[in-house]
Structure 1
């Protein structure tokens, strides 16, 4: 199967430790983190994605706000620069151990955090990065050939 993600969630998954907006959101994200760790690929989408799904039934879900669309735009640009890949709807991405490490390194030095401005989780994510991403749920083992 394939996991549908919007661009800024490529950053969120780097520091996800099991905290979220609601219990349903966290349960859903835990499942997605497990699937990503198991090697499922990502299909980049525009707008609400598989992570947003539990929020869509609520009144005025923030995932449809213009500020979130701008967050996607900034994340796509910065992640694309780090990976030297187009980060746009329709692109498929295999989040292997090397890509995950490159993104986490860039995140830890602030190279891909422009999209995080004004995010309520930014301080937590910064602390997780400063701690070496130790408790994160998305993990990919390095495969030796």
Structure 2
């Protein structure tokens, strides 16, 4: 199986501790992380992804906002630059332990965080990175 993920969520997953917008959102996010930890590949998508699903029925859902699309574009560019190849919907990303470590190292060094500017979770994610990602749920196989 393959998990559909929008670009900026690749950054969010690095620091995910089980917190989120609603209990349904958190439960769904946990399921997505479990699938990635089991070794499923990622397909980068344009727009709402599997993490967004519980939010899409809400009246004030932000998943389609221009600000979120801009965040995706910034993340897509930064991640492609770091990984050395463009990330598109036709490519699958294998999020193994080495790739996750590379992403976390760059995240902690603020090399791929342009998309995080003005995010409501930015301070929390910064503290998690400073704490060496302790307790984070994403732990894909080697």
The normalised TM-score by structure 2 is 0.97
Tell me, yes or no, if the aligned pair for 2:39 and 2:141 is still in contact at 8 Å. no
Shift of 1:87: 1.5
Aligned length: 142
Tell me how far apart the structure 2 counterparts of residues 138 and 73 of structure 1 sit (CA, whole Å). 23
**Does residue 51 of structure 1 match 2:51?**
yes
Tell me how far apart the structure 1 counterparts of residues 55 and 99 of structure 2 sit (CA, whole Å). 28
Deviations 1:9-51 (A, max 9, x none): 1100000000000000000000111111110000110000000
Tell me, yes or no, if the aligned pair for 2:38 and 2:141 is still in contact at 8 Å. no
2:85 aligned partner: 85
Secondary structure of the residue aligned to 1:88 is coil
1:26 aligned partner: 26
Deviations 1:52-77 (A, max 9, x none): 00000000310100000000000001
Shift of 1:85: 1.7
Shift of 1:105: 0.2
The normalised TM-score by structure 1 is 0.95
Can you give the 5+ residue segments of structure 1 that lack an aligned partner in the other structure?
none
Runs of 4+ in 1 over 4 A off after TM superposition: none
Tell me how far apart the structure 1 counterparts of residues 108 and 95 of structure 2 sit (CA, whole Å). 18
RMSD: 0.8
Tell me how far apart the structure 1 counterparts of residues 117 and 123 of structure 2 sit (CA, whole Å). 10
Secondary structure of the residue aligned to 2:63 is helix
Tell me, yes or no, if the aligned pair for 1:7 and 1:88 is still in contact at 8 Å. no
